[in-house]
Amino acid sequence: MRKETRCVHGANDSKETNGAVSFPIYQSATFSHPGLGESTGYDYSRLQNPTREHLEKVMAALENGVGALAFSSGMAAASALMELFVPGDHIIVSSDTYGGTSRLFRNISVKNGLKFDFTDTSDIELVESLISEDTKAIFIETPTNPMMHVSDISRLSALAKANSMLTIVDNTFLTPYFQQPLSLGADIVLHSGTKYLGGHNDTLAGFLVTKSPEISEKLRFIYKTTGACLSPFDSWLIERGIKTLALRMEKHQKNAMGAARWLENHSKVRKVFYIGLESHPDYKVSTSQTSGFGGMISFEVDSEETVKKVLGGVRLISYAESLGGVESLITYPMLQTHADLPMEERLSRGINEKLLRLSVGIEDLEDIVEDLAEALGD
């Protein structure tokens, strides 16, 4: 089954026998048993729920994994992921990563005894130089948030395997429609399902997908013990969003390419970071491991005054802290997504007072460009 069809029909393994085209919402916390030692396969919704199970099968199929787990948010998924490790374990992480992930690792995971090195994971030799006997995993975000750096998943996965380590990839920006890390050698994929998978800015969700039955079993134990499972209704919302994922991602990409090229030629824009532009330094790596470039753009303008003008001047585009929905959103990383990073580190990454991040929606491209043009001015 091709990916466009899989988005619509899911895993094609429904237990629903009543003919419902839309898989039902099993809004039940607990399930009765036919008798002693007998079960319907469901006991308590923290352990599993038919609606959530159906969604998890869809995600496993889309990512070519053996198992998926649906969480109440992307950060809940990341938190559960860290429970695979024990005090003293060392993890190498993409330095330019989502601020919430960095906050989790630096404040919660470090407190729990884990060690981290944040580095440019697009530099294989640099990553290799940080490997020690305590290193258990490489955590990659590709493309990164917000600077759009791209890491070579296949090469890093091979390096990890050679050193008996896990490769973990945050695939939120490109989704399994444009990028499938497990097929490139990764062991675990992380998603904020809130973003493109849901696609409508109306619910929170997170996912972990793996191709290892052993890892899947470990994560399932952590999942049922810590309890950050996705509710039946939110599971249904996310699955409904996935049905249009292929259509939306193609439109996001088409609009993003058009907006990026327009921004490149604006007098007040100094730099444009979009992995679909041939001028992007990681363009060749992107084309080698993805089937598309997604809808995320970051761009640097000429002054902080222009930033204020844009954020106060957009009308169609909303000034809001998220991404991946049908509506275009613009964000100021320095004060929003990456506000918890020390200023020196933010600036070293290029997250300065002139950087904006744009999640390009599925509106008409001309309307998006007209809105940017009016907000930027001449």
Q: Which 8-state DSSP code applies to residue 371?
A: H
Q: What CA–CA distances, in Å, run from 246 to 12, 175, 208, 291, 312?
A: 17, 10, 20, 12, 32
Tell me if residue 43 is catalytic.
no
Is 90 exceeded by the pLDDT of residue 346?
no
Q: How confident is the model at residue 378 (pLDDT cuts 50, 70, 90)?
A: low
pTM: 0.96
Given a contact cutoff of 8 angstroms between Cβ atoms, the answer to whether 89 and 165 are in contact is no
Tell me if residue 177 is catalytic.
no
Tell me if residue 15 is catalytic.
no
Which residue in the list 136, 195, 211, 248 is annotated as catalytic?
A: 195
Q: Which 8-state DSSP code applies to residue 305?
A: H
Distance CA 83, CA 156 (A): 22
Q: How confident is the model at residue 16 (pLDDT cuts 50, 70, 90)?
A: low
Given a contact cutoff of 8 angstroms between Cβ atoms, the answer to whether 337 and 146 are in contact is yes
Mean pLDDT (whole number) for 319-335: 95
Which residue in the list 96, 152, 170, 371 is annotated as catalytic?
A: 170
**What's the burial of 199, exposed, middle or buried (CB within 10 Å: 0-12/13-18/19+)?**
buried
- pLDDT value for 341: 78
94-98, 196-200, 238-242: least confidently modelled range: 94-98
**How do residues 41-92 score in pLDDT, each as one tens digit?**
999 999 999 999 999 999 999 999 999 999 999 999 999 999 999 999 999 9
Mean pLDDT (whole number) for 183-198: 98
What is the share, in percent, of the chain residues with pLDDT greater than 90?
89
* The dihedral formed by the CA atoms of 265, 374, 333 and 257, expressed in degrees to the nearest 10: -40
Q: Which 8-state DSSP code applies to residue 24?
A: P
Q: How confident is the model at residue 10 (pLDDT cuts 50, 70, 90)?
A: confident
Tell me if residue 170 is catalytic.
yes
Count how many Cα atoms sit within 13 Å of the Cα of residue 246 in the half-sphere of its side chain.
11
Distance CA 227, CA 346 (A): 34
Distance CA 115, CA 108 (A): 11
Number of H helices, E strands in the chain: 14, 12
Average pLDDT, the chain: 95
Is 90 exceeded by the pLDDT of residue 336?
no
Count how many Cα atoms sit within 13 Å of the Cα of residue 316 in the half-sphere of its side chain.
20
1-10, 56-65, 100-109, 140-149: least confidently modelled range: 1-10
Is 60 exceeded by the pLDDT of residue 14?
no
What is the share, in percent, of the chain residues with pLDDT greater than 70?
98
Domains along the chain with CATH numbers: 3-242 (3.40.640.10), 246-376 (3.90.1150.10)
Rounded to 5 degrees, what angle do the CA atoms 262, 264, 265 make? Answer: 70
**How do residues 260-273 score in pLDDT, each as one tens digit?**
999 999 999 999 99
- pLDDT value for 13: 63
- pLDDT value for 345: 79
Is 60 exceeded by the pLDDT of residue 203?
yes
25-29, 138-142, 346-350: least confidently modelled range: 346-350
**How do residues 351-375 score in pLDDT, each as one tens digit?**
999 999 999 999 999 999 999 999 9
- pLDDT value for 338: 81
- pLDDT value for 358: 98
- pLDDT value for 272: 98
Given a contact cutoff of 8 angstroms between Cβ atoms, the answer to whether 240 and 54 are in contact is no
Q: What CA–CA distances, in Å, run from 137 to 46, 109, 170, 182, 289?
A: 28, 14, 13, 15, 21
Task: Round to the nearest angstrom and report the end-to-end CA distance of the chain.
Answer: 49
**How do residues 223-266 score in pLDDT, each as one tens digit?**
999 999 999 999 999 999 999 999 999 999 999 999 999 999 99
Which residue in the list 26, 98, 223, 274 is annotated as catalytic?
A: 98
